[in-house]
């Protein structure tokens, strides 16, 4: 019997995964979205290898924070261990999204963080979107997906995941997160937009400079944090 209290979360995780496909952020079976119920410590995640157009709520897999399957007939997304490391390390987040969206991925492949070239970026990300260090051979050979999560957590030693809700994994693609999985999907779409803008900006003017920290903070802090004043109260 599926846990009744998880029903709304299952519905949200299915919507999030379908949105990744329909918005073009995830092709074929690439990409995955998950959410955590912090009260029970249970994670709802996309099943592995099921085409988005066939995915149903009952196909989603529920695991605990150690990755033990609690509900579901199918195998969870192979990236589950990355999601679990992020949920364990970043206590404030409620959803994680991974895609190979084109422009965010090309920055990851180029081994470059995404510089903050304008206020569109600054509205959502407080600084350049970071990139992890290269994984060592041993980290790839064994527990690769968990080690991808650990590489992200290491990169965030001096970063606040609430102020920087995304990262690039070098040579791979992006992971995004947020208070909910719907927020994480929103962030994945914004990340792709700012990655595209930064790429085009660098194409037009390779020596264009990132915006000042002053302008960056002005834009970020008017939408986020204690003194935010953007939008309706």
Catalytic residues: 123, 230
Residue 45 or 122 having the CB closest to Zn ion: 45
Half-sphere exposure of 45 (CA within 13 A, CB side): 29
Token match 């693609």: residue?
173
How deeply is 17 buried, as exposed, middle or buried, from its count of CB atoms within 10 A (0-12, 13-18, 19+)? buried
Give the number of residues written for the chain.
Answer: 233
The H or E element that residue 35 is part of is: strand 32-37
Residue 84 or 173 having the CB closest to Zn ion: 173
Residue 151 or 173 having the CB closest to Zn ion: 173
Nearest approach, Cβ of residue 125 and Zn ion (Å): 20
Residue 175 or 220 having the CB closest to Zn ion: 175
Q: Tokens in use for 93?
A: 């987040």
Of residues 139-158, those binding Zn ion (CB under 5 A): none
Nearest approach, Cβ of residue 135 and Zn ion (Å): 13
Nearest approach, Cβ of residue 172 and Zn ion (Å): 6
Nearest approach, Cβ of residue 157 and Zn ion (Å): 23
Cα angle 171, 174, 175 (rounded to 5 degrees) comes to 135
Widest pairwise Cα distance in the chain:
59
| Residue with nearest beta carbon to Zn ion | 173
Of residues 157-216, those binding Zn ion (CB under 5 A): 173
Which residues of the shown chain bind Zn ion in the complex (CB under 5 A)?
173
């Amino acid at each position: 019997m599926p846990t009744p209290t998880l029903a709304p979360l299952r519905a949200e995780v299915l919507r999030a995964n379908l949105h990744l496909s329909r918005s073009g952020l995830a092709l074929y079976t690439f990409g995955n979205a998950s959410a955590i119920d912090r009260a029970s410590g249970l994670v709802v995640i996309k099943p592995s290898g099921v085409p988005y157009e066939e995915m149903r709520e009952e196909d989603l897999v529920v695991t605990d924070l150690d990755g033990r399957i609690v509900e579901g007939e199918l195998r969870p997304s192979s990236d589950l261990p990355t999601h679990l490391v992020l949920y364990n390390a970043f206590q404030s987040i409620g959803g994680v999204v991974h895609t190979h969206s084109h422009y965010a991925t090309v920055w990851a492949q180029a081994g470059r963080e995404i510089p903050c070239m304008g206020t569109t970026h600054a509205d959502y990300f407080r600084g350049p979107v970071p990139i992890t260090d290269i994984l060592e051979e041993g980290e790839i050979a064994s527990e690769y997906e968990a080690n991808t999560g650990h590489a992200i957590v290491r990169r965030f030693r001096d970063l606040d995941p609430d102020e920087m809700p995304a990262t690039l994994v070098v040579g791979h693609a992006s992971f995004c997160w947020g208070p909910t999985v719907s927020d994480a999907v929103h962030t994945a779409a914004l990340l792709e937009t700012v990655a595209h803008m930064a790429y085009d900006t660098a194409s037009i003017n390779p020596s264009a400079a990132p915006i000042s920290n002053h302008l960056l903070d002005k834009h970020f802090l008017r939408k986020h944090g204690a003194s935010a004043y953007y939008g309706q109260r």
